[in-house]
Amino acid sequence: MLGKILSALLYVLPAYVANATPVPFAKILKKTTPIDGGRSAWDGRRILGDGKSWEGLFSGIAGGTLIGVILYLAGNLGRFRSISEPMILSVGAMIGDIFGSFIKRRIGLERGELAPGLDQLGFLIIALIVSAAIYGVPDWFDPMIFACILIITVILHLSTNFIAYLLKLKDRPY
């Protein structure tokens, strides 16, 4: 059980790193380019908002891919089915994160407002769907392990965001 959870965590690590990298990267850059180009949707609200930038997107894909390739070269610790899988997981995570912001804006939440569940799990679920669509269901997968991974992800997401807030990388503690 613990071994399977550890394998699953190593497998999803590229998605975690992809999701986390844009926070310090955007902070260092200070000025970033919004993916939606500042445009609004049919409802008058921003399509995605300033929290989704090209710089963040590319840094996330690069960071997640890099950590995954390191795991792959270190004896395939993530048990990826291909050396490309970390990149697929990272791209999936960024798609999920962007899609989450799209949903948040449509329901009227401003950039940075809390969307419980969506903020912590949207990126991971889409990353897993995208990788499963390409490579099939990973071997660690079973409903119990999946449930554990979701719970661990929520805890890790909230705690790392709180640390980022203490480090002044984020304006809000969640």
Q: Which of 8, 15, 57, 69 binds ligand CTP (CB under 6 A)?
A: 57
What is the distance between the alpha carbons of residues 62 and 68, in angstroms, rounded to a whole number? Answer: 10
- Residues with Cβ within 8 Å of 74's Cβ and at least 6 positions away in sequence, in order, are none
Residue nearest to ligand CTP (CB): 56
Q: Rounded to an integer, what is the distance from CA 172 to the centroid of its chain? A: 18
- Closest CB 167 distance from ligand CTP, rounded Å: 13
Joined together, the tokens standing for residue 23 give: 């926070």
How many whole angstroms separate alpha carbon 59 and alpha carbon 86?
Answer: 14
Rounded to the nearest 10 degrees, the angle between the axes of helix 54-73 and helix 85-106 is 150
Q: Residue with structure tokens 């791209």?
A: 91
Q: What is the closest distance, in whole angstroms, from the C-beta atom of residue 137 to ligand CTP in the complex? A: 27
CB nearer to ligand CTP: pick between 113 and 148: 113
Residue 153 found at the interface with ligand CTP (CB under 6 A) = no
Please list every residue from 22 through 41 that binds ligand CTP, using CB under 6 A.
Answer: 22-23, 26, 32
Minimum distance of ligand CTP from residue 59's CB (angstroms)? 8
- Interaction between residue 112 and ligand CTP (CB under 6 A): yes
Which of 49, 68, 78, 96 binds ligand CTP (CB under 6 A)? It is 49
- Two tokens, residue 142: 């079973």
Residues 91, 61: Cα–Cα separation, whole Å? 6
Q: Applying CB under 6 A, which residues contact ligand CTP? A: 22-23, 26, 32, 49, 51-53, 55-57, 97, 101, 104, 111-113
